[in-house]
Amino acid sequence: MSTQARIRSRELRDARAAAERRRRKRNRAIAAGGAVVIACLLIAIVVGLVNAAGSGDSPTAAAPQGKAVAPAIATPGGALAVGDAAAPVKLEVYLDYMCPFCGRFEQANSGELDRMVAEGTVRLELYPLSFLDRMSDGSQYSTRTANAVATVADRAPGKLLALNTALFARQPAEGTKGLSDGEIADLARGAGVPEDVVDAFDDRIFQPWVTKSTAAVFETGIEGTPTVKINGTVFTGDLYTAGPLTSAVAAAEDAR
């Protein structure tokens, strides 16, 4: 091998080694950057978890303690009763305004329910529950809507079913914050609730009652929403198409 060739091959080797060193250095830098990103993500996850735990706990802690004022038309069991007290059929509906299937039940049956209540066939007892508060990204949507409904039940009971329908018509998706207090107030105004009653939503007067009756309802063995009882017996038919519930109510009426 000539001297020249030897020099050339050595230069080549050196260049390769240098390239390899550069590559190593660059990879090490990328790895270090990656490690920093991983550390940041871990911190963000921990912070997110701590925040979530905090926001999950505080509403319950902040809930007003003490005596729960019940709406005027509330039953001892925690329901809002509408319709003729002497009606032959008592229909109990357990619902949560965040519950998507309660929305489907409402869509299918609200027309029939309104009619049967107006005719005096049915005494409707609504249980607005708040157990799906956990599904509204910390905004306590279930409690806020249940309080609004209870306030209307107390002071403008004639508008209760209209607000109930309006809330389900604009039902938010699970896991979202849901409607704001202002939007709930607008819905109530749209349903014909007087202004002074709408203004009282913000006072959260019936929030303790909602909390208390939700707990009381689950004590009675209700496992989920929507649950519908006809004269005290759970209705096991199809809740999501119009008709079956109406027939069952008619049958219950005939049975008396």
Partner 1 sequence: MTTPLLTRLHGIRHTDGWIFGTMLLSACLSLAASFVLSIDALRLAADPGTSLSCNINDVISCGTVATSWQAQLFGFPNAFLGLVAEPVVITIAVASLGGVRFPRWFMLAAQVVYALGLVFAYWLFSQSMFVIGALCPWCLLVTVSTTLVFATLTHVNIRDGNLFLPPRAQAAAKRFIDADLDLIAVTIWILVLILAIVLKYGPALLA
Distance CA 66, CA 253 (A): 41
Comparing CB distances to partner 1, the nearer of 56 and 190 is: 56
* Those residues with Cβ within 8 angstroms of residue 200's Cβ, 6 or more apart along the chain or in another chain: 151, 155
Distance CA 211, CA 147 (A): 10
Write down the residue that tokens 């005494």 correspond to.
123
Closest to 96 in 3D by CA, of 147, 133, 62, 130: 130
Residue 227 contacts partner 1 per CB under 8 A: yes
The DSSP call for residue 90 is: E
With contacts defined by CB under 8 A, name the span among 52-60, 82-90, 147-155, 187-195 that binds partner 1: 52-60
Residue 106 contacts partner 1 per CB under 8 A: no
Distance CA 225, CA 211 (A): 16
Query: Binder to partner 1 among 21, 48, 72, 203 (CB under 8 A)?
Result: 48
Query: Binder to partner 1 among 70, 82, 99, 245 (CB under 8 A)?
Result: 99
Query: Binder to partner 1 among 68, 73, 112, 137 (CB under 8 A)?
Result: 137
Pair of tokens at residue 233 = 């017996």
Query: Binder to partner 1 among 175, 182, 192, 243 (CB under 8 A)?
Result: 175
Closest to 112 in 3D by CA, of 242, 254, 253: 242
Query: Binder to partner 1 among 12, 18, 37, 62 (CB under 8 A)?
Result: 37
Residues contributing to the site for partner 1 (CB under 8 A)? 23, 27, 30-31, 34-35, 37-38, 41-42, 44-45, 48-49, 51-53, 55-57, 96, 98-102, 104, 131-135, 137-138, 173-176, 218, 222-227, 236-240
